[in-house]
């Protein structure tokens, strides 16, 4: 499968940033995306509070050619740097608006399932699952 590439432009600190991004991912890139998000969230602890932040960062990291080396090389300040990048740009919104239909939802679902597998924490308690089963 050939990756489709588009160009986007956003502003950060008054400076215009041009970047390229993919509108679809190969299977291997989907796996890397899911594992990267899961690995950042699940370690000795499960850091669910930054789940959306990490997911959006990985969109930038995986889909675009935006340089995130300062974040990757940061030992103590990575979360703050990610938060700043996401607050100061609309890169994620540009990518989400242009990717293949259903891709972001597919990745989000896969991340949820991977986290559930690694932590044993089920997002939907048994009573909600039973309720849905009865409705069906």
pLDDT tens-digit series, residues 90-108:
999 999 999 999 999 999 9
pLDDT, greater one: 135 or 62: 62
13-49 per-position pLDDT tens digit: 888 999 999 999 999 999 999 999 999 999 888 899 9
Portion of the chain with pLDDT greater than 90, in percent: 72
CA distance 72 to 101: 29
Q: CA–CA distance from 7 to each of 18, 23, 49, 117 (Å)?
A: 7, 10, 31, 36
CA distances from residue 119 to 37, 43, 45, 93 in whole angstroms, order as listed: 14, 9, 9, 29
Question: What per-residue confidence (pLDDT) applies to 121?
Answer: 74
Distance CA 75, CA 134 (A): 49
In percent, the amount of the chain with pLDDT more than 70 equals: 88
- Taking the C-alpha atoms of residue 74 and residue 3, their distance in angstroms, rounded to an integer, is 30
**Integer Cα distance of 38 and 55 in angstroms:** 9
Q: Helix or strand or coil: residue 46?
A: strand
């Amino acid at each position: 499968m050939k990756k489709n590439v588009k160009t986007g432009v956003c502003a950060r600190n008054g400076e215009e940033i041009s970047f390229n991004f993919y509108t679809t991912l190969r299977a291997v890139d989907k796996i890397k995306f899911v594992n990267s998000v899961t690995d950042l969230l699940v370690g000795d602890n499960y850091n669910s509070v930054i789940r959306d932040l990490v997911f959006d960062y990985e969109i930038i990291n995986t889909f675009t050619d935006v340089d995130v080396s300062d974040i990757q090389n940061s030992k103590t300040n990575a979360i703050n740097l990610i938060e700043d990048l996401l607050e100061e740009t609309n890169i994620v919104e540009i990518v989400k608006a242009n990717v293949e239909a259903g891709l972001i939802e597919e990745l989000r679902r896969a991340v949820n399932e991977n986290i559930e597998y690694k932590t044993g924490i089920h997002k939907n308690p048994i009573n909600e699952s039973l309720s849905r089963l009865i409705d069906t």
